[in-house]
Amino acid sequence: MKKKLIIFIGICVSLPLFFSCKKNFLKEDVYSSLAPETLGDSLGIDASIIGLYNHLSTFFSKSDAQGWPSVWHAGTDVAFVPPSQKQGIEVPYYDYTQLNSTDGAASFTWGWAYRMISNANIIIKNADAVAGVTAATKASFGAEARFFRAYAYNTLATLFGKVPLVTEPTTTPKTNYTRNSLDEVNNLIIQDLTFAVANLSDVGGFGSKTNADGKPAARANKWQAAQLLAEVYLRANKPDLAEQQTASIINSGKFALTNARYGIRAGQPGDPFSDMFIYGNERRYQGNKEAIWVLEEENINTVPGGYTGAPQQRRNWGAAYYQVTDVDKNDPTKTVTMNIADSLGGRGIARMRLTDWVVYGLYENNDMRNSQYNIRRKYYYNNTQGKNYGLQVPYTGPDTLFKIAPNTTKWYDFIANNTDGTFGFAMTKDFILMRLGETYLLQAEAQFKQGKLAEAAASINALRTRAGASQVTAAQINLDFILDERARELLAEENRRMTLMRTGTLVTRTQAYNKQTINPVVGLTNKNLLLPIPQSEIDLNKDAVLEQNPGY
């Protein structure tokens, strides 16, 4: 027995030796993540590019700080924040005394842009080395990544001015960045976009769900690169080059201003301008001939990953009419509230209110962009339990600050049985990031800067004709008029703050038009034409001085 036992024990002893001597026992096998080196083929590069679209959308769908959309509009000439509706992140953007180097919005934007740049750099490097594809495919990979890199750098240059240039993937920690000159930054952007214009796909035909390369229509196209390039040339004060780009878009014949009713609600009350902002009408293949670049969103309940964050635009821009109370028709001691309705655009909470300048001074009465379908100014009691059911809610008192404040319908959205429904946290709606309307405005700006006032007036009149507004003359054209027209055309659509920072007009225009006494703009000075470099970046960049913008 003793012998057998010893043999048995011997086996037991050798067992662990066998396990542990197995080759690579300590090697880590990653089962559930991909490694960069496995993504170097064309499938991997294409998936990496999809990642850029996902990352892009996180800028528009940020919801951890719900006042995010207000950062870009409130405290400019177009909007202010009703004090009870503030969230926090947007506060330093109207109380500029609080805009400091630990600002949350500036820090997020900075990090978001550099993450885009970092991912684009990986793709650009891999695209050069990818095997087994044609030179044209390589170029189109590179062009798509370069477009996003340029988009991120343009955001940084507009908001922060000089920034460090990073053009290679990060593989080891680095903490000695310094700011490159604005010329260097602009040159890289122009170089990237020039490459993108040359190598990105053309759009497909109207109604086609694919672009000229057979890829989904929402993939980047050469015209969006051209439009961004036009804007960059304007910022870099090269208006002639900007005009070349806008002209190429307008003359391409690929796009047309929306002059007629179309789409899923063409038979219902509305106008051509409002048709463009109905979910289901916003994309080129859905009939929007004006659309150049659309960031698509889907109902997250039916399409996994339909949106990234929980977009807050509807809640920020829409009025909080659901708080309007009516007396119960059966019991005068009780009150009832208005119902959240599809026709009223779902549940808004009015984190922003349009400035009186926009509400009362911006539009001619017959301007289509000011129609009841585009700016809602009247509300009617809609609770059948209410005593005043069907009557107009009187436009008086503090309710006009946020409950029934006039508001743009561009972000109206309501999908039942979704978080988009009655709770109304997220919004399912496409983001029209570029359309032909803006091309005319950029062109007008380029022409004005070259002194071509008549041409500028003609560019603007293209939009005013569509809107049914009066024509303007060359004598009326100046930068302020162009910026007014941008507000009329692109209200709540363009990033107003970036437009005013790009044109250096943030201080003058805000002071001229954002004049209400409730939650007034305070502390706005010329230093605010740039945002503060995030303090954490300055602190973490310990081996070199990352210079702060003046005044912060």
Partner 1 sequence: MKDCSYCFPDRVVKMAPKHRLFFLPLFLFFSTLVFAQQTVRGKVTTVDGVLANATVQVKGTTTTVQTDEAGVFSISAKPNDVLVVTSVGFNAQEIPVSNRTSIDVKLSANSQMMTDIVVVGYGTQKRSDVTGSVSSVPKTRLTELPVTNILHAIEGSVAGVNVSQTSSVPGSSATVLVRGQNTITAGTGPYLVVDGVPFSKTGAVTNDINPNDIASIEVLKDASATAIYGVNGANGVILITTKRGLTGKPVIRYNAYTGFDNLSNWLTPLSPEAYVQKYADYKAQVPSANQGVLPNNFEVTNYNAGHTVDWLKEVTRQGIMQDHNLSVSGGSKDVRYYLSGDYLQQKGAVKGYQYRRISIRSNLDINITDFLTVGTNLSFANNNYDGGRANFYLAAAMSPYGTEYNATGNYEIYPMSPELLYMNPLLGLNSDRTDRASNLTGNGYAEVKFGGVLKGLKYRLNGGYTYVPTRFGSYAGRTAGNTQGGVASLSTSETTNWTIENILSYTRDFGVHHVDFTGLFSAQQRDYFTFGAGSIGFINDELSFNRLEAGSSLTGNTSYRDKYDLLSQMGRINYSYQSKYLLTVTARRDGSSVMGANTSKYGVFPSVALGWNMMNENFIRNISAVNALKLRGSYGKSGNEAISVYQTITQEGTVRYPFGGISTVGVLASNLGNANLHWETSKTLNIGLDFGILKNRINGSIDVYDTKTEGLLLRRNLPLITGYSFVLDNLGKTTNHGIELTLNTENITGRNFRWQTSIVFAANKNKIVDLYGDQKSDVGNRWFIGQPIGVIYDYKLVGVWQAGEDPSKWDPGAKPGDLKFADINGDGKITSDDKVIQGQTTPKWSGGLTNTFHYKNFHLNVFIQTFQGALKNNVTLTYADEAGRMNIPVATGYWTAANKSQTRPSLAYTNTRGYGYPSDNSFTRIKDVTLSYVFSQGLLDKLKLSSLTIYASGRNLHTFTKWIGWDPENNYSFRGSGDWTNNYPLTREIVFGMNVALR
Interface of this chain with partner 1, residues 306 to 335, rule: CB under 8 A: 306, 308, 322-323, 325, 333-335
**Secondary structure of residue 349 in the 3-state scheme:** coil
Q: Of these, 136, 264, 303, 474, which contacts partner 1 (CB under 8 A)? A: 303
Name residues contacting partner 1, limited to 361-390 (CB under 8 A).
Answer: none
Q: Of these, 3, 4, 23, 26, which contacts partner 1 (CB under 8 A)? A: 26
Q: Of these, 3, 4, 31, 475, which contacts partner 1 (CB under 8 A)? A: 31
The vertex-24 CA angle with 19 and 28, nearest 5°, equals 110
**Secondary structure of residue 201 in the 3-state scheme:** strand
Under 8 Å between Cβ of 327 and 386: yes
Of 167, 52, 84, 1, which is closest to residue 402 (Cα–Cα)?
A: 84
C-alpha 328 chain-centroid distance: 42
Helix axes 104-129, 42-60, angle to 10 degrees: 170
Q: Of these, 60, 94, 110, 273, which contacts partner 1 (CB under 8 A)? A: 110
- Contact letters (x/-) for partner 1, 43-62, by CB under 8 A? -x--xxxxxxxxx-x-----
Q: Of these, 3, 19, 134, 253, which contacts partner 1 (CB under 8 A)? A: 19
Q: Of these, 3, 4, 12, 260, which contacts partner 1 (CB under 8 A)? A: 12
Q: Of these, 100, 181, 343, 470, which contacts partner 1 (CB under 8 A)? A: 100
Backbone angle region of 343, left / alpha / beta, with phi > 0 → left and psi within -120 to 50 → alpha: alpha
Of 347 and 452, which CB lies nearer to partner 1 in the complex structure?
Answer: 347
Which alpha helices (DSSP H) does 181-238 contain, by range?
A: 182-199, 222-235
Question: What is the smallest separation between the CB atom of 8 and partner 1, expressed in angstroms?
Answer: 9
Question: What is the smallest separation between the CB atom of 201 and partner 1, expressed in angstroms?
Answer: 13
Residue 520 in the binding site for partner 1 (CB under 8 A): no
Residue 83 in the binding site for partner 1 (CB under 8 A): yes
- Amino acid sitting at position 238: K
CA-to-CA distance for 169 and 121, rounded, in angstroms? 5
CA-to-CA distance for 507 and 287, rounded, in angstroms? 39
Applying CB under 8 A, which part among 382-390, 481-489, 490-498, 539-547 lies near partner 1? Answer: 539-547
Residue 40 in the binding site for partner 1 (CB under 8 A): no
38: its two tokens:
């496995």
- Amino acid sitting at position 123: I
**Secondary structure of residue 243 in the 3-state scheme:** helix
Residue 402 in the binding site for partner 1 (CB under 8 A): yes
Q: Of these, 3, 4, 23, 28, which contacts partner 1 (CB under 8 A)? A: 28
Question: What is the smallest separation between the CB atom of 166 and partner 1, expressed in angstroms?
Answer: 6
Of 5 and 135, which CB lies nearer to partner 1 in the complex structure?
Answer: 5
Q: CA 408, 410, 411, 417 torsion: positive or negative? A: positive
Question: What is the smallest separation between the CB atom of 435 and partner 1, expressed in angstroms?
Answer: 18
